[in-house]
Copies of this chain bind each other. A is one copy, B any other.
Amino acid sequence: MIDIIKADGRREPFDEHKLRRSLRRAHIPQKHHDAVVRQIMSSLYPGIPTREIYQHVQNFFMSAYPEGAPRYNLKQAIMELGPSGYPFERYIGALLERQGYVVQVGTVVRGTCVSHEVDVLAKKGHEHYMIECKFHNEPGLRSDVKVSLYVQARYLDILNAWKKQEPPEEQNDTHQAWLVTNTKCTADALEYAQCVGMKVLGWNYPEHGSLQDMIEESHLHPITSLTTLSQSHKQALLNKNIVMVRDLEQQQSTLNELGLTMLEAQAVRREMATLMQEQGEG
Contact = CB atoms under 8 A, between A and B. Distances in A.
B157 A146 contact: no
B113 A192 contact: yes
A195 B154 contact: no
A154 B148 CA distance: 10
Nearest to A132: B146
A210 B113 CA distance: 23
Contacts of A114: 145, 188, 191-192, 195
Contact of A192 (B146, B157, B191): B157
How many copies of the shown chain assemble into the complex? 2
Contact of A149 (B112, B153, B195): B153
Nearest to A193: B113
A191 B153 CA distance: 14
A55 to B, nearest CB: 35
Interface residues of A, number: 20
Contacts of A225: none
Interface string A105-117: 0000000111110
A113 B153 contact: no
A65 interface: no
Given A147-B150, A149-B149, A149-B157, 8 more contacts: A113-B192, A113-B196, A114-B191, A114-B192, A115-B188, A146-B150, A152-B153, A153-B153
Interface of A: 112-116, 145-147, 149-150, 152-154, 156-157, 188, 191-192, 195-196
13 contacts: A113-B196, A114-B145, A114-B188, A114-B191, A114-B195, A115-B188, A146-B146, A146-B150, A147-B150, A149-B153, A150-B150, A153-B156, A157-B192
